[in-house]
């Protein structure tokens, strides 16, 4: 089997006249008929059929990252079709995937090499075994989380100001692992969270603490996961809305708490919670999209505020907030995609949060979670163009996956599972609830292809709650690395809660929806 890569540039006259130059790229294994539909994708045939300029590289593609293509081509539009690639399935020697370092090692280049060495050892060992032995240790992760719920380990006492976060991380982990929440847990969760709500609106990190946007987001998500009427009804929506408006500044940004710092997380946390509780209004969102646009940098990343370096967590918050408002067009999406793809590590397969930083399991979601949103945005944009062009051939092959879903699963399953249960940042670290939650959320994002139903989205005037319900798990496009039982539940690309829990809460606060 020859691995191949095809890049094609459009010479379509009507597109050119509108200033659109389209590059196509396909990669995979030759003979895979899915690649370009009904024809075997030999470059000759491909070229003849669409009379595009074709470059053909007879190369091993598993190591060849999407961002290299962007760097070379800088096209205006992207069309992708990628199968899972993975690190282990490549025939390339793992050692060749190490980051090139020059003769002057620095602290950070040494740390990078150390990380690569430890990941490489694990990959070498895994490569020699049957693929089915790559297993998600579901039971031990469930036990880890449940033990934590019973009695938080002593080091977490410092996180007393983050009780709703702990509730959310733990409940979400159990939920996507498929563990049924016990009645006892449900009651405990509701009583813990209800004590943290302030009469002036919002939730604090501990009893008597002032309300905080991030903590409120976590509290609302935790209540959504609990998913009972009793849980929903503890939310004082009127006070919550008034408090949201107090966090809002004139330029459209949000502070994290009254008198606190401005941060793009504020916008996301407020808008996600407001979406789930039916509190998104023009008053709440006025100017926010324009402010978030200013947080995007020259390299495509999104920083915490204008002028600050892009970061995985901020980028997710910025993009998800834009998606809630239906304002993603204000961002430079191809540039953000370029930035995001460049953060998937060549050897490790996981993501770093910023360029030149180490891989970290939690970015499996913060950066990995950008892709379902980006794929939806690009598919939607192309779909709108297709209506005009009636070019269905194009729409079939768009945006199946814009990151290496298999490689990310390899990193999470082989390098991020603590033998004692729970998941970790990188090898040799110990597990915590934060990394357990976000490694699992990233795993879910890589296994499932959660897509946006843009046919239904064409209905005019959909509120943000309705738009949140348009995400669905495309069952035919799942990729489950290793043992088939590794499949966990799909998570919502905006709220990071299991899909049915989002639906239930939205139907509670908005009324029954037909889709
Ligand atoms: Zn981390």
- Using a 10 angstrom Cβ sphere, with 0-12 exposed, 13-18 middle and 19 or more buried, the burial of residue 110 is exposed
Catalytic: 163?
no
- Other beta carbons less than 10 A from residue 388's beta carbon: 7
Which among 64, 425, 426, 503 is annotated as catalytic? 425
Q: Which two tokens stand for residue 418?
A: 């603590």
Options 175, 179, 263, 360, the catalytic residue:
360
Element (H, E) at 306: none
Q: Largest alpha-carbon pair distance within the chain?
A: 71
pLDDT per residue as tens, the chain (515 positions): 223 344 443 334 443 444 333 344 444 433 332 333 222 333 333 333 322 222 333 233 333 344 444 444 433 333 333 444 677 766 557 887 788 777 788 898 999 999 999 999 999 999 888 888 999 999 999 999 999 887 655 545 555 668 899 999 999 999 999 999 899 889 988 998 999 999 999 999 988 899 999 999 999 999 999 999 999 999 999 999 999 999 999 999 999 999 999 999 999 999 999 999 999 999 999 999 999 999 999 989 999 999 999 999 999 999 999 999 999 999 998 789 878 888 988 889 999 999 889 999 999 999 999 999 988 887 776 555 544 443 443 334 343 567 888 889 999 999 999 999 999 999 999 999 999 999 999 999 999 999 888 778 877 788 899 999 999 998 878 889 999 999 999 999 999 999 999 999 999 999 887 76
Task: Based on the residue annotation, tell me whether 155 is a catalytic residue of this protein.
Answer: no
Write the DSSP assignment of 92-121 as a string of letters: S-GGGGSPP--SS--HHHHHHHHHHHHHHH
Active site residue 362: yes
Active site residue 363: yes
How does pLDDT run across 197-245, given as a tens digit for each residue? 999 999 999 888 999 999 999 999 999 999 999 999 999 999 999 999 9
Q: How far is the CA of 435 from the centre of ligand 1 (A)?
A: 6
pLDDT per residue as tens digits for the range 364-387: 999 999 999 988 887 776 555 544
Per-residue b/e over 141-151, b at no fewer than 16 CB within 10 Å?
Answer: bbebbbebbee
The catalytic residue among 64, 144, 232, 363 is 363
pTM: 0.84
Decide: 398 and 379 in contact? Cβ < 8 Å.
yes
Measured in Å, residue 358 CA sits from the centre of ligand 1 at: 10
Q: Is 160 a catalytic residue?
A: no
Q: What whole-number distance in Å separates Cα of residue 82 and Cα of residue 184? A: 45
Measured distance CA(263)–CA(276) in Å, rounded: 21
Neighbour-count burial of 186, counting CB atoms closer than 10 A to its CB (0-12 exposed, 13-18 middle, 19+ buried): middle
Count the neighbouring beta carbons within 10 Å of the beta carbon of residue 53. 12
CB proximity list for 414: less than 8 A, separation 6 or greater: 122, 123, 126, 134
What are the backbone dihedrals phi and psi of residue 488, each rounded to the nearest 5 degrees, phi first? -115, 180
Task: Please tell me what DSSP assigns to residue 473.
Answer: E
């Amino acid at each position: 089997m020859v691995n191949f890569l095809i890049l094609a540039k459009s010479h379509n006259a009507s597109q050119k006249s509108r200033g659109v130059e389209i590059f196509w790229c396909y990669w995979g294994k030759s003979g895979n008929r899915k690649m370009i539909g009904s024809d075997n994708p030999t470059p000759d045939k491909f070229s003849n059929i669409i009379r595009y300029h074709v470059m053909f590289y007879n190369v091993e593609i598993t190591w060849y990252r999407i961002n290299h293509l962007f760097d070379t081509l800088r096209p205006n539009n992207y069309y992708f079709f990628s199968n899972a690639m993975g690190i282990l399935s490549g025939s390339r020697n793992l050692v060749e995937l190490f980051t090139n370092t020059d003769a002057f090692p620095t602290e950070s280049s040494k740390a990078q090499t150390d990380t690569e060495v430890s990941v490489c050892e694990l990959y070498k060992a895994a490569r020699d075994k049957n693929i089915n032995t790559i297993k998600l240790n579901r039971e031990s992760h469930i036990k880890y989380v449940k033990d934590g719920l019973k009695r938080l380990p002593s080091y977490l006492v410092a996180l007393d100001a983050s009780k709703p976060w702990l509730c959310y991380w733990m409940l979400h982990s159990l939920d996507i692992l498929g563990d049924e929440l016990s009645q006892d847990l449900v009651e405990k969760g509701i009583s813990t969270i209800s004590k943290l709500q302030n009469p002036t609106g919002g939730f604090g990190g501990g009893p008597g603490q002032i309300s905080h946007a991030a903590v409120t987001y976590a509290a609302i998500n935790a209540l959504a996961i609990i998913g009972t009427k009793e849980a929903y009804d503890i939310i004082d929506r009127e006070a919550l809305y008034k408090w949201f408006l107090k966090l809002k500044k004139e330029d459209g940004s949000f502070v994290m708490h009254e008198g606190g710092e401005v941060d793009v997380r504020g916008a996301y946390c407020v808008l996600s919670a407001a979406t789930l509780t039916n509190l998104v209004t023009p008053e709440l969102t006025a100017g926010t999209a324009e402010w978030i646009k200013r947080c995007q940098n020259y390299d495509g990343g999104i920083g915490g505020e204008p002028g600050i370096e892009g970061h995985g967590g901020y980028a997710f918050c910025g993009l998800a907030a834009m998606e809630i408002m239906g304002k993603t067009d204000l961002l430079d999406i191809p540039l953000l995609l370029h930035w995001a793809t460049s953060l998937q590590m060549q050897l490790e397969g996981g993501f770093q949060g910023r360029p030149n930083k180490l891989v970290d399991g939690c970015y499996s979601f913060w950066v990995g979670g950008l892709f379902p949103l980006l794929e939806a945005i690009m598919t939607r944009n192309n779909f709108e163009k297709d209506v005009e062009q009636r070019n269905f051939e194009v729409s079939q092959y768009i945006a199946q996956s814009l990151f290496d879903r298999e490689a990310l699963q390899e990193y999470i399953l082989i390098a991020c599972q603590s033998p004692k249960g729970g998941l970790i940042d990188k090898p040799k670290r110990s597990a915590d609830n934060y990394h357990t939650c976000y490694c699992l959320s990233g795993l879910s994002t890589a296994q499932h292809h959660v897509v946006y139903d843009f046919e239904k989205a064409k209905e005019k005037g959909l509120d943000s709650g309705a738009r949140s319900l348009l995400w669905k798990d495309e069952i035919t496009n799942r990729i489950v690395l290793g043992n088939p039982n590794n499949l966990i539940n799909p998570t919502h690309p905006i709220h990071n809660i299991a899909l049915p829990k989002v639906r239930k809460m939205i139907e509670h606060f908005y009324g029954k929806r037909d889709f």
